A and B are shown apart, each in its own frame.
Chain A
């Protein structure tokens, strides 16, 4: 089975993330960029299948500027077999619709039985890219799975919706997105890091995936403004009366 995992590089959430208020784009200088944790968990789901099914192949796919290659290298060192990187100047500031069109075209070119994505990225939080990719490729979508079962012909899992949860399934080919409860990602080991250097990263431009004409964003940003940061208020050390004081504070603000 050939599994494509969608990998995304995002600003490290351990640091404050910044937008450039003049362009509306991410301020890439503001902090480190790392592979989004949720996409590493998606990779883990694929690697577990590969661990138990030797003939399987795992390809990691990303769209992003040159440094996004680092996220692919990490995925290769965790155990992915090869990587595909779509990089093109015209993709700067790409919105979700364009991103999904690009990922779908690259996936089609690569070939697959199953595509696995994270349910939503820590930066965008839109959670719609997996659905858009599925639609472009005419695939059934299994969204936000907390648990996953993959067989040679089908996929099944539990999707926690807002009211209760559902067991859902589909025949392959299909696209699933996973939540952070689906799998805990493994760490690259020394052997993985060494062998990753020899693995192939294919670099594609928009022309390579025949998307030259479609490369426009349909959701232009109009304004970006920064909210004033919160400031610390009153802080007291409990000496036995703190609860009473807090109750008064809440009552004064009509919060009781």
Chain B
């Protein structure tokens, strides 16, 4: 089996990101999974065991003092270095802002074909690599292959549930020379807001989203309360984000995050086509809206024509009674 590289993301404090399990699983579906990680010198060893538990058969640690101060360059350098050493048939990265930048640069540098934002990967009978895309808000499934020697794949976060079998990885450590001229400098890291204890939106099993119908930032708390009652993540329409009810990272839709949860609850959201494009692959959709003609009802499995300020508190109470 050929090697398949999985680019592991780490936080500014060196913790492995939650995208790693699916990336290693995808790599394992295509060949021998190799976890590639760019770290500060000496910081990689502590990650090996965890990457092995996630299924990495080899861990390729590229060390550079520039990790954390140059954007993308170290990750790109790590992939190039691992490619020269291991001749992979594919490189799998998360479809996150940083990793997809590294993937794009890697593909251009190595003249490789790139399959972006895939929801699954597989090989055909002849061993050719195939990426499965979910296009136009899930309306189409498109399968594509790559004719170049290496396939570069960005994987939609939360799309792949499979996990690879645990392994005891071999470890390779190299030191990396990063071209600083062609990398942007990281001047400051602004940490994310205080941890709410809620699941993140990407990959969440339950998502409760609020729209302009909530009317104000204060009222938007209702969305959070229902999310907490259901153990879900909080999302929003673009109108709610634009109105300042909640931060940008919560936007669900065509130009926001695409979610595919078991349950999606839309509160005070009209269901514009751009919003539906980001949520209509949810297993079950519930909508509460005052307007009986709101397009969100066209895709809802259960719709309530009603006022969110009346129905939602009653719903939270009803959920509370049931769980007691």
Stretch at the interface among B45-53, B81-89, B110-118, B211-219: B110-118
Q: Is the CB of A256 within 8 A of B97?
A: no
Q: Is the CB of B185 within 8 A of A13?
A: no
Indicate whether B125 reaches chain A with its CB closer than 8 angstroms. no
Q: Is the CB of B306 within 8 A of A238?
A: yes
Indicate whether A135 reaches chain B with its CB closer than 8 angstroms. yes
Report if A19-B140 is in contact (Cβ < 8 Å); known contacts: A135-B108, A218-B147, A250-B263: yes
In the assembled complex, the Cα of A97 lies from the Cα of B150 at a distance in Å of 13
In the assembled complex, the Cα of A163 lies from the Cα of B192 at a distance in Å of 6
Q: Which of A37, A127, A234, A244 contacts B97 (CB 8 A)?
A: A127
Indicate whether B139 reaches chain A with its CB closer than 8 angstroms. yes
Q: Name the B residues within 8 Å of A256 (CB-CB).
A: 230, 319, 322-323
Indicate whether A126 reaches chain B with its CB closer than 8 angstroms. yes
In the assembled complex, the Cα of A226 lies from the Cα of B186 at a distance in Å of 43
Q: Is the CB of B72 within 8 A of A143?
A: yes
Q: Is the CB of A247 within 8 A of B315?
A: yes
Q: Which of B100, B182, B184, B254 contacts A168 (CB 8 A)?
A: B184
Q: Is the CB of B108 within 8 A of A100?
A: yes
Indicate whether B104 reaches chain A with its CB closer than 8 angstroms. yes
In the assembled complex, the Cα of A127 lies from the Cα of B292 at a distance in Å of 37
For residue B95, give the distance in angstroms from its CB to the closest CB of chain A.
7
Stretch at the interface among A53-61, A153-161, A203-211: A153-161
Indicate whether A194 reaches chain B with its CB closer than 8 angstroms. no
In the assembled complex, the Cα of A129 lies from the Cα of B108 at a distance in Å of 10
Q: Is the CB of B273 within 8 A of A128?
A: no
Q: Is the CB of A235 within 8 A of B319?
A: no
**In chain B, what residue has the closest Cβ to A121?**
B255
Q: Is the CB of B104 within 8 A of A129?
A: yes
Q: Is the CB of B117 within 8 A of A224?
A: no
Q: Is the CB of A221 within 8 A of B71?
A: no
Per-position contact with B for A5-17: 1 when CB-CB < 8 Å, else 0? 0000000011111
Give the size of the chain B interface in residues (CB under 8 angstroms). Answer: 91
Q: Is the CB of A125 within 8 A of B100?
A: no
Report if A170-B184 is in contact (Cβ < 8 Å); known contacts: A220-B147, A236-B303: yes
Indicate whether B11 reaches chain A with its CB closer than 8 angstroms. yes
Q: Is the CB of A14 within 8 A of B273?
A: yes
Indicate whether A66 reaches chain B with its CB closer than 8 angstroms. no
**In chain A, what residue has the closest Cβ to B96?**
A162
Q: Is the CB of A125 within 8 A of B117?
A: yes
Q: Which of B97, B184, B311 contacts A243 (CB 8 A)?
A: B311
Q: Is the CB of B300 within 8 A of A131?
A: no
**In chain A, what residue has the closest Cβ to B148?**
A218
In the assembled complex, the Cα of A140 lies from the Cα of B185 at a distance in Å of 9
**In chain A, what residue has the closest Cβ to B299?**
A230
Indicate whether B146 reaches chain A with its CB closer than 8 angstroms. yes
In the assembled complex, the Cα of A247 lies from the Cα of B229 at a distance in Å of 12
Q: Is the CB of A167 within 8 A of B190?
A: yes
| A window 156-179: CB within 8 A of B | 156, 158-170, 174, 179
For this complex, 16 residue pairs linking A to B, each with C-beta atoms less than 8 Å apart, are A13-B274, A24-B144, A37-B255, A95-B114, A126-B100, A126-B154, A129-B104, A132-B104, A135-B105, A136-B108, A140-B183, A142-B184, A160-B249, A230-B280, A235-B305, A246-B315
Other 13 A-B pairs with CB < 8 A, given A97-B107, A160-B97, A250-B263 = A13-B273, A119-B97, A126-B154, A141-B71, A146-B248, A166-B186, A169-B184, A174-B184, A218-B111, A238-B304, A246-B286, A247-B315, A253-B284
**Which residues of B approach A to under 8 Å, CB–CB?**
11-12, 17, 71-72, 95-98, 100-105, 107-109, 111-117, 130, 135-136, 138-148, 154, 157, 181-192, 202, 206, 230, 248-249, 254-255, 262-263, 273-274, 277, 280, 284-286, 292, 297-307, 310-312, 314-315, 317-319, 322-323
**Which residues of A approach B to under 8 Å, CB–CB?**
13-17, 19, 21, 24, 37-38, 95-97, 100-101, 119-120, 122-136, 138-144, 146, 156, 158-170, 174, 179-181, 217-227, 229-230, 232-238, 242-244, 246-247, 249-251, 253, 255-256
Which 8 residue pairs across A and B have the least CB separation, nearest first? A131-B104, A238-B306, A126-B116, A218-B113, A243-B314, A128-B104, A233-B301, A247-B318
